[in-house]
Amino acid sequence: MTLLALNKPFGTICQFSAHETRASLADWVKMPGIYPAGRLDSDSEGLLLLTDDGALQARIAEPRHKLVKRYWAQVEGAPTDDVLKALARGVDLGDYVTRPCRAEFVEPGEALWARTPPIRYRAAIPTTWIELSITEGKNRQVRRMTAAVGFPTLRLVRVGVGALDIFSLGLPPGECIELPSRAPWEGFASS
d(CA 90, CA 80): 16
Nearest alpha carbon to residue 158 among 88, 60, 86, 85: 60
Three-class SS state of 3: strand
**Could you confirm whether 92 is annotated as catalytic?**
no
* CA 87/CA 74 separation, integer angstroms: 15
Of 27, 41, 52, 53, catalytic: 41
**Which spans in 62-190 are helix H?**
81-89, 141-148, 166-169
Torsion angles phi and psi, residue 148, rounded to 5: -65, -25
Phi, psi of 123 (to 5 degrees): -60, -35
Q: How many CB atoms lie within 10 A of CB 176?
A: 18
Distance CA 188, CA 60 (A): 6
Contacts of 23 (CB under 8 A, 6+ apart): 9, 11, 12, 13
Residues marked as catalytic: 41
